[in-house]
Amino acid sequence: MIKLGKYKHFKGTIVEVIGIALHSETIEEMVVYNHPDPVKGESANTMWVRPKEMFLDNVKKEDYEGPRFKKI
C-alpha cells in the first residue's frame, strides 16, 4: 500500500505522492506524483506517473541497493 505524502527517490530528489490512478487500457495501478521543487526544467504543476509495482520496487545498482522510493 502506498500512503500519500513525501518520498525520497534513491537518487536524492523529493517527490510528493498525490494519488493512485488506473491505466485506461490495462487497469494497472499507477502512482501519481509531482516534485515540490521542480526539476529538469519542468513547470511547478507537472504531474508524473509510474507503475505502482515499479514505484515499490527495489533498485540494484553498483553504488546502491534498496527501495526506489522511501517515505519521509
pLDDT, residue 71, reads 98
Q: Are 4 and 19 spatial neighbours (Cβ–Cβ below 8 Å)?
A: yes
- Residue ranges and CATH numbers for the domains of the chain are 5-71 (2.30.30.320)
- Give the pTM: 0.86
Q: Which long-range contacts (CB under 8 A, 24 or more apart) does 37-45 make?
A: 39/13
pLDDT, residue 43, reads 79
**End-to-end CA, the chain:** 15
Task: For residue 67, give Cα distances in angstroms to 22, 23, 27.
Answer: 23, 23, 24
Pairwise CA distance, residues 30 & 20, whole Å: 6
Q: What is the pLDDT along the chain (72 residues), one digit of tens a residue?
A: 899 999 999 999 999 999 999 999 999 999 999 988 877 777 777 899 999 999 999 999 999 999 999 999
DSSP state of 51: E
